[in-house]
Structure 1
Amino acid sequence: MDQTLRSRIEVALDSIRPYLEADGGNVKIVELTEDMVLRLELLGACGTCPMSTMTLKAGVEEAVNGRFLRLHA
């Protein structure tokens, strides 16, 4: 993965990490595919939380998409 792109994704994830860490979790990048599919892993308490799907959709996905929409606007 391109380091500049990885850095941009990490900045986006950093905006949501304090909320994940407050609940005993975190998120890490697993891979970014050639067709721009970002695979993430929820860590710690977030990995087994029944709300993890909502966390990914409403929290992590919004943070990453919002950050990239602003960067590319």
Structure 2
Amino acid sequence: MNTLVNTDLTDKVEKALDTIRPYLEADGGNVKILEITEEKVVKLELLGACGSCRMSTMTLKAGVEEAIIKAVPEIRGVEAINITPLN
């Protein structure tokens, strides 16, 4: 795994995540940046309730990814390494 590519980019992504963290925390969850690849893909770990929630796919796409890309347009995508698929 690559290390965090760019501290400035990481700071921008963290600020974007901070805008949605209160909502995640209200449901007992959170997210942690594991890596930002050279291709500008943010790899996250879903923490707490988010890691086992059946709605985590929707939360990732409609909440987390949207907030990050809106605030940091150079990011090309967001992936969670431990997402629970909807069945």
Q: 1:6 aligns with which of 6, 10, 23?
A: 10
Query: Identity rate of aligned residues, in percent?
Result: 65
Whether 2:41 is the aligned partner of 1:37: answer yes
Q: CA deviation at 1:3?
A: 1.2
SS in 2 for 1:60: helix
**Which structure dedicates a bigger proportion of its chain to helix?**
1
Aligned to 2:58: 54
* 3-state SS, counterpart of residue 12 of structure 2: helix
Q: Following superposition, which runs of at least 4 residues in structure 1 exceed 4 angstroms of deviation?
A: none
SS in 2 for 1:61: helix
Query: How far off is 1:35 after superposition?
Result: 1.1
Q: CA deviation at 1:37?
A: 1.2
Structure 1 Cα separation of the partners of residues 10 and 37 of structure 2: 12
What letter matches 1:31 in structure 2? E
Structure 1 unaligned blocks of 5 or more: none
CA distance in 2, matches of 1:22, 1:49: 14
Gaps of 5+ in 2: 74-87
Aligned residues, how many?
69
Distance 2:33 2:62 in 1: 17
TM-score (norm 2): 0.76
TM-score (norm 1): 0.90
SS at match of 1:26: strand
1:28 counterpart residue number = 32
